[in-house]
Structure formats: structure tokens, C-alpha cells
Structure 1
């Protein structure tokens, strides 16, 4: 495990020079991440602007999608697992000593209850809740590029405002856990209905994720949490049910059924059916006295 003891060392991994106890990114695409667990010894706020990222914290795997964010305290250990090709995020790093300079209460950050999972919180926020965050990050970036007599104090004030906005979003998320569960259930039921409606034409997970306005990775996580299965398994199970129905209808021969189910060939359909039913389509008809 590699410790990044300061912001400068972390940013040097990305070829970014920084001589300040704070940093806010432009939100451009990130092309490389450390491939090992590493510890960040400073405060971090990362918000996804497009695509998604999968990461591991405290041996738990998380997916952060567009508008979702991570906020973490110093000493949080992270490992980046994978990202979408279009993944982008805006990042804020800052050191505690910088933020609390001239502040008499050293526990002011702790009182915000920002860290619900020990040293970090991951929130699946929506666009409406994150508009203010993006606005403050943009303003912060603008101020960090200039220098004046009051630049540092202005930057501290913006960061405090940002933390308070984050704390408010977190408190609202924690206050309505049932609503979050219901939203996930609703998404899963929509996925299930979409599969039933489109199974003869679409077997690609990406199609269903796009219809639901979520990433492929989030759909995989959603379905796995709801059923213990993958979206591919749900799709295949629904396709198998359609195959059973068509095999029970003598108007269709095996070739026509393979064609209606959008298989590339009769043999491809046969392999699919045998994988799940343990017998061929023809044997199934014989077994069921369908002739």
C-alpha cells in the first residue's frame, strides 16, 4: 500500500504541479489511476460528471455514477478498480491545517457529520441536488487561478460553503433510506419490464442501462443486489421462457423459432436451449409430446 502523504505527491502521479495546500481539478478525463491500494492523507471530494467509476474502500466495492460523489477524511485507503471510457470527475483536495487556519474550533468539520462510513461517505445524488456543488467548484477553480490579498480567505470560505452543501445532501440521503430503497426497487422492476417487452429484439445489457439512464455497471450492481443474479442471467431466463412458449406452438418449426428469437443459427439456438434445459429443442418437444 502506498501512502500519498500530501497533495503534491498525489498530483505528481498525474503530472500535475501544485504548491498549495488545496487543489481543484478542471474535470477533464482521467487517463490513469494507481493500480494498488493507497492512502490519501488529506480531505478529498470527488464528484462524477460523466460515465462511472468502480472503486474499493475498506474491502467494499462501490460504483459511482454521474452526479454521485465521494467525500473522505485523511487516511482513507482506496483502490481504483475500473472506469467507463467516458468517465470524468471534478476533484477537490485540501489539507485540514489550511482550512482551519484562524478557526478556534478544531472540530468544526467533525460536527458536519460528513463521514457516515467511518472515514468516508459515498452518495448517489441526483442532478438537482448537485447543481450547487458544481457551481461552488467552478467558482473555487476560478479563485485558485488568481492571486489577491484575500485569495486564501475566499478559498477557505468557498470550501466551507461546499462542505455545508455536501453535509445537507448527506443528511437528506440519510433521512430517507426507505425512499432510496424504493427507488432502486423501482429501477429493477423497470428493467424487468423492459426485458419482457424487448426480449425478441434486444439482449444487450447496454441497451437496458441506456433506457434507464444509468451505467452498465450500476445496472449490474442493482440487479445483483435485488436478485443475486446478473442482468445477462435475467435476460437469458426471459429468453428461455419465450423459447418454451414458442416450442409449445406447433405453428413454428425449430428454424422459425431460432429466427424469431434472433439467434444467428439453429445450432446457436440449440446450444442456448440445451445449456439451460439440458436437452435439445427437438428432445424437449418429444418429451412434452408436442407433435
Structure 2
């Protein structure tokens, strides 16, 4: 089940439609026996233990641990101990993109390196900080009558991601460390994401990246789709969109200059691209952000 299919199984206080589902420790048991797929999933175990299945692999997850999986991983909660304190969070791409813009607390290559068993172990201090932010986020999601309900949820989501990203990046202890390295497909995905990060403002065409990796565009598309759950074109477009949103926050930059900086032939081409990605024009996006400040 994906995020949209899971939402009706929980009280409205646990979610914002089409945006985020945060299953708190009191509701976590409802996830037992459910396959979660086609979704980016965060599971944080603050106390106690849970048993899960990751793409057919059974894992016993102890306290002070986190699962941060891509949408290519299928997760099933097999068992949750009665004294366990665990959270599960799923977000839509649109909500995450609008909340984080071009900021990435955990680089995609870090996630790809631990894709098979995406489990991270934290210190008690780190897990407490993450747990605290999740509690703040849960309160924001539940505050349906708050005038700035969506904005508040976005702020606390970003805050939680910062704590989670800090915990992951500062602690290299993962179950996956015992593995000898990435499979060939994962290595290609890592190289591709590094190339996109370096060249996305100049190169929008898949053929450039395929040639740089010494393979056909068709073969690259198949590898990236199987590994990351998205096409190379989507990955490139997402990078451009994230950067565009960040640049639009700077009123000193004209839309024409932004389109040039992002490698578009003209302003019209950039505006057409941005509206296709975000559903509003760059000008509308800029005005909307000003009102919410």
C-alpha cells in the first residue's frame, strides 16, 4: 500500500491529505501485517524492538534505529513489541519538495549505498532529538484549526529532516557496512546522481549522461528506474526544479536570469518547464512565497 491507500486507515490527526502521513507510537500497531510500497518511508524506533521484512529480508530492529528507504523498497511490519516506541512517516514528493526546496539532509547517494538494508543506528542522544522533532511535527499535523496549518507542518517536517539527516550523516554505523560494496546497478546509479548534481544546470539531456557512463540511454533508463524507482529524466528535472525554487526565493534575480542560469534556451522555455513541474508559473510561485513569509 502506498501513502494514499494508508491514510484512510488512520485518524485525520495523523495526516494531511495528499501531503504527509505520520503514524505516532500509539497508532503504530495498525501497520502490522501491511506491505508498504511505492513510497519513501521513514521508520524511527526510539525504544523497544520491532520485526520487519525489507524486500523479503527479515530484520530485527532494536531501539535507537531508523529505516530510511526509497520507494523501490517494500516494507512489512511483522511485529511490534508492546513497549516499543516507534514512528512511521510517509510523505508525497510534492510536500517534501516544497518543504525542503533544494536542500537535501541526506544525499541520495548515501541512501543508495544502504538500499538493500537501509537501517541506521543512532546514539540515545540523537534518537531523542529526532523523537522530539517527530512529536512537534505530529502536533502540527493534528492542529487542523491552526491558521498556518500547512506552513507549520512544513516547518516542523524540515526541522525533523535536519535532525534525522544529522544523525545519519554523523553516524556511519549501519548494518550495510558489512557488505563489500554496491552491486553494479547501484554503482551506476551513484555515478549518475553525481553527474546530475554536477551538470544539471548545463545538461538536461539523458544522452549526455548515458554517454558519460559508456552506455545507451535505454540501458541507463532501465538501471535508474530499477534502482531508484524513477527515470533519469525525472531525476534531472527534479534537480532543476529544486534549484529553481531556491533561486526564485531571491528577489534580486530576474526570471530571465534564472532561466539562463539553469541552462534553458529562453525564459519562455523555463516558465513552461516550471509550470509543468510545480503546476504554477515562476511568477506565481514567487508571489505565493512572499505572502507566506
When normalised by structure 1's length, the TM-score is: 0.49
Highest relative contact order (Cα 8 Å, sep 6+), 1 or 2?
2
Q: Which of the two has greater helix per residue?
A: 2
Greater C-alpha radius of gyration: 1
